[in-house]
Amino acid sequence: DYELCEEWGHLYPVPREDLISLHREHLLHLLEVGDMEKALQLLQRIDDPGICLAISEQSLDQHPNLAASHFLADYLTAHFYASLTAARRSEIQAIYIGSKVLLTLPELSRMNYFHLSSRPLLMLEQLLMNMKVDWVAVAVQTLHQLLTGQEIGFAVEDIDSLLSRYAEKALKFPFALKEKKS
């Protein structure tokens, strides 16, 4: 049905907003079923870069599944980096990095942290609070690799500070040891 509507749009004038809506729904459908190749082909078929940007941004703003969010953030960064405002670039890069960190977690646990995908530092803190030390190790390694040259509102130093703060808390004892007197 989407392809038929797309063909119809080539034959008859369709209002810009309806065209964006059609392509957005088609793109989200393809991403939902996991067909990244067809999703990429759909985006490449769109001649107007403004429409392509609007479709990609609106799709990302609808908070699709993890793989779709990762795909869209990567696509927007690769193709429209210069067209985005600094704040939006930072937001999209945070989603890209957060989704990449989520992909390092065990598959059954990803949904527990999906709501934090746009805030990777907070996700790391949540993992620390939940005592998922092995996951934190992998997440920190991934973050160190991804943060090189990125501007997303935090840096490697912020990660190190967070780890130091939680390491310090882990060493605090809630009670004082008393000496036995004879």
Q: Is the pLDDT of residue 71 over 90?
A: yes
Distances (CA, A) of 110 to 101, 105, 147: 10, 6, 21
When the pLDDT of each residue in the chain is averaged and rounded to a whole number, the result is: 85
Tens digit of each residue's pLDDT (9 = 90 or more) over 27-61: 999 999 989 999 999 899 888 899 899 999 999 99
pTM of the model: 0.77
- Asked whether the beta carbons of 142 and 101 are under 8 A apart, the reply is yes
The pLDDT, as a whole number, for residue 175 is 64
Confidence at 173, pLDDT banded by 50, 70, 90? low
Tens digit of each residue's pLDDT (9 = 90 or more) over 97-131: 888 889 889 988 888 888 888 888 889 889 888 88
Percent of the chain scored above 90 by pLDDT? Answer: 23
Confidence at 151, pLDDT banded by 50, 70, 90? low
The pLDDT, as a whole number, for residue 25 is 92
Classify each residue of 105-135 as buried b or exposed e, where b means 16 or more C-beta atoms within 10 Å of its C-beta. Answer: beeeebeebbebbbbbbebbbbbbeeebeeb
Compute the average pLDDT of residues 9-13.
80
